[in-house]
Amino acid sequence: MAEALRIGIAGLGTVGASVVRVLGEKAAELTRQCGRDLVVTAVSARDRSRQRGIELGSAKWFDDPVDLARHADIDVFVELIGGDANPALACVQAALEAGKHVVTANKALLARHGVALAEIAERKGVVLNYEAAVAGGIPIIKTMREAMAGNSVSRVFGILNGTCNYILTRMEAEGLSFDACLKDAQRLGYAEADPTFDIEGHDTAHKLAILTSLAFGCRISADDIYMEGISNITQADIRAAGELGYRIKLLGVAQHTESGIEQRVHPTMVPTASVIAQVHGVTNAVAVETDILGELLLSGPGAGGNATASAVVGDIADIAKSRPGFQHAPVFGRPATELRPYKRARMRSHEGGYFIRLTVYDRVGVFAAVAGRMADNEISLESIVQHGSIAAEPGTKTVILVTHATSEAAVRKAVESITSDGHLTDKPQVIRIERAD
């Protein structure tokens, strides 16, 4: 049997503790699968005295994770600290430069520094694995990086944040407000005390940026993602979507077009009959559209200690199974030095059109004025109706418009004009309708 794989883990929070637990409980099975023992020989965390419910055995404790990363007696450094700055960045860089394999669940770190870290890993001939960084326990990274050779990807999209999907699911199923669902998500541990990173789309954007690089062979560009969160979604939107045959989901979408790559994160109406509309609660799902395979959809647990630990342990096991001289797959599917510069796509027509909800004064001529502003911007309407089932204040009416394919710029300009005309009593709501078949 080959020598044991020596593992150093930095970060012993929920995920780190789960990884240690799984490696201990599944030790015999992992040894059979990998042909060698997987042993945690060193750890680092901020608080030595904290009770974590795990057995660390004879593992050496490091107060400084950078010292752990350089430690001669580890083969694999597992970074579970989080964040896109130090100490996470410093210790991953140190481990790679020292010739250690690295496993991380840190999507923020990869979204900001992934290409630079990949260049170090490939120069040193070591592995940088990050399955747990995107969609928790779903094996989307391995699938896209290793199992889809020869396929050209045209679009990748999905539900990448369990907190948002949980909130939207509860809003629809139980008729609750956004605020009520958010408070419940916080009570259950699905949302942080400060939920901004999740509900405003930042978490989804980081994950999407990584998938975009894998899909299209480009450098990561997290700052070029159009982003909207779900905090402005109301029961009026949920009900109107249902009556129109749609369900609202927060999607991350990356699409290759003739003018470049389009990346966006926003609430989206998807047909109720589509597969992705059936993804409920904290579950994640990722769809990949290719020329050879067609559409592939993977769905499963997107967060939590066990789901993330499963992905981390899987990455460690892949390293354990490899042998000296084995050529590892490039970190982002292609050599990091050959990743193309990211080219942002020009504004284009959105295939699925738009849902627009307006609360207007109940007076003569408003319908005509709204339709006129749409026509001024060359927007073709599939329907424009007064929505009687959505409650409005006395003296006001709710108007629902559904457009045919048109550009984002045209919709925004038309809505701004309607607002300037003084017809609205409340902020307008604009939600894209996405093809999700």
- Active-site amino acid positions: 207
44-49 long-range contacts (CB < 8 A, ≥24 apart) are: 44/8, 44/9, 44/10, 44/11, 44/68, 45/10, 45/11, 45/12, 45/13, 45/16
**Separation between Cα atoms, residue 236 and residue 357, nearest integer Å:** 9
**Cβ neighbours for 156, distance < 8 A, ≥ 6 positions apart:** 144, 211, 212, 215, 253, 254, 286, 287, 288, 289
Confirm if 80 and 18 have CB atoms less than 8 A apart.
no
Neighbours of 42 (CB within 10 A): 22
Question: DSSP code of 417?
Answer: H
- C-alpha distances in angstroms, 1 versus 35, 126, 127, 420? 6, 22, 22, 75
* Cα gap 131→114, rounded to integer Å: 13
